[in-house]
Structure 1
């Protein structure tokens, strides 16, 4: 397994934390204490002494959290009334009146919590010292559930409730590919950034409340946002270009000399379109001047054809002066041929 959701405050023993990193906390998970109807129960944990209380099933994050809180309150963890019941079984026994109290970790919209609030057979307990717990434990937060916030018509709950809450966090193995971490961070922001019952919009995901070292890639995301390429390109394209950068740098080193060669090659190519006509022009000029038997009218037609072809040459503006020089030279030779023709009559 490369990625997992974990409840805040759950201790992992020994070296099991090695190689694990946190991507962030995602949302609050309130800790609820419900009592059966008719039982007077103060909002302090020592008051549970002598009662039958469900701490949550063995191995669950709920039980681990509650046992820690009870122990810090001097509560004997070997007391006979402490039971390890599933959430469903504990809720049924509360409604049946065969269980005094039970702990649950759930959002207010959780099925079991909502059913208990509406059942009339169990009552949520107000944590009187919620703020003290939050100050003592960095992974706990004190929350307020206002009166009537679950159901205004039925006024549930019937008073303001102070609750304790842990956070759900996402943890990954440190060898997880950075590109996958970047994609996960974007999904977490999209899904959990909208807020909820206790969360303000934009409050989550957050690097706070983590029980694990923050992933370096996640830390960069919280500081700078998504990687530059992923802001404008699909994930597959951004990931491909990110991998290609290892090859692009050596290629750039090889291509730099080519960049120096290209401009001279370009200039030579443009000039060659013009200069290749000078060989023909020189041949016409030499024959007209030195060959008494030269067919001057034919040479003149050859010059006219050359002029027409030169007019059709396409070169950039930076080379147009050289093209006009060629046309001037063609005109100069044409006038000499005409003078020779006039002199020979």
Structure 2
């Protein structure tokens, strides 16, 4: 599917980026992947190094695949321009971003630098990839987020819904990415697709996510806080389902067409990628504790009740996330389907191996 393609992936040491690269390397014999990541310490850098080591191992086993890693920031315009000039990618997947809703409340600068300035640099580089009659970038795929739905009351969330009420700066930057991409698609005929990811989880994931943070706290004999007194629902989406969706989208850019005004009809799409099955947080914690015991991360007689604390909703959070994935199913014949138990079991087994064995 991606044979003989040059693909530039930002956030290459991140959770989704690294898993996407692994999938592409495993499924394509002749592929050229260039990755960039600034390796910041927002969370444990050892996990990022672990992901890169996995990529290096798979890449080294492929005779005709090329894997190049650049350590740097997408907010460095000169660096991004030099990468585009040297490698001339066919497809760009922008997954680099400062993530996290709560962190955006106390550290807004990081979000402006990476999510706005960095994304602008990617858009500009895509625009200039067509200079002097070059073929240029055939598809820009970029990460948006279910956070853009903000305080919307209607569920499931549809990409047709208005999303003008962000409840965090993080969400505002992601909606801004969609608007910026639309403008560049219209002005410069850049095929672009935004993907609104819903609560991605799995082995070697982000330690700031609930399932990972809960596990760390329980191991340290600390209490876990369950927000909104447990009356929250999340559309947990397993990492393998996410990267399967991304690879299918990468291979099918929106078509370039000319409108009645003689100008490009923006070759622009946005899709949800979620499990379409919201799970109550208390049920989620119950499954997590069962799988942590099963994997040997926690002892069988662990007293969970004394380690749980029900607390009010946090600023920037929403009570429910729920993806309508009908357009994804219609256009790509794909719907995420990994059960929460299977996903958390895989995470618990990885956690045991990474931290305990």
Q: TM-score, normalised by structure 2?
A: 0.28
Higher relative contact order (CA 8 A, sep 6+): 1
**Greater C-alpha radius of gyration:** 1
TM-score (norm 1): 0.29
